[in-house]
Structure 1
């Protein structure tokens, strides 16, 4: 092998190593973002379950009857 061929191969290997390092960093950042989003979704699901439970347990007697309410002042 000639010196020029060896230098070209070393350059290509070096470029591949750089690309690999950037890809690993990007994958790690994407994984972190995905983990944060999953935590947020889990919290939102818990909040939604709580709200749905509250709405289902509301007594309809606590809600105003539409026929008993006076119309708004602009009528």
Structure 2
């Protein structure tokens, strides 16, 4: 049978430490996954807002720089 040396931690202590580390890593991975999902949703919302803002800007530019031939002549003519 395997006999633990008195110089280092026992096999049971080492297994317990590894189990603890694995549990911590699993928790960390879960938190990172949740954070990544939230970041992706935020990015999608930001992209939608940007598309809408660019559409509004395009519409405003169209109004500001309208073709002079389309506008009626000023009243003094």
Aligned length: 62
Q: Which residue of 1 aligns with 2:18?
A: 9
RMSD: 1.9
Q: Which residue of 1 aligns with 2:34?
A: 25
With normalisation by structure 2, the TM-score equals: 0.73
Q: Which residue of 2 aligns with 1:52?
A: 61
Q: Which residue of 2 aligns with 1:37?
A: 46
Q: Which has the higher contact order (CA 8 A, sep 6+)?
A: 2
**Larger fraction in helix:** 1
Q: Relative to structure 2, which stretch is displaced further, 44-53 or 1-10?
A: 1-10
**Could you list the runs of 5+ residues in structure 1 that have no partner in the other structure?**
63-75
CA shift for structure 1 position 58: 6.7
Alpha-carbon distance between aligned partners in 1 of 2:58 and 2:48, rounded to the nearest angstrom: 15
Alpha-carbon distance between aligned partners in 2 of 1:54 and 1:39, rounded to the nearest angstrom: 23
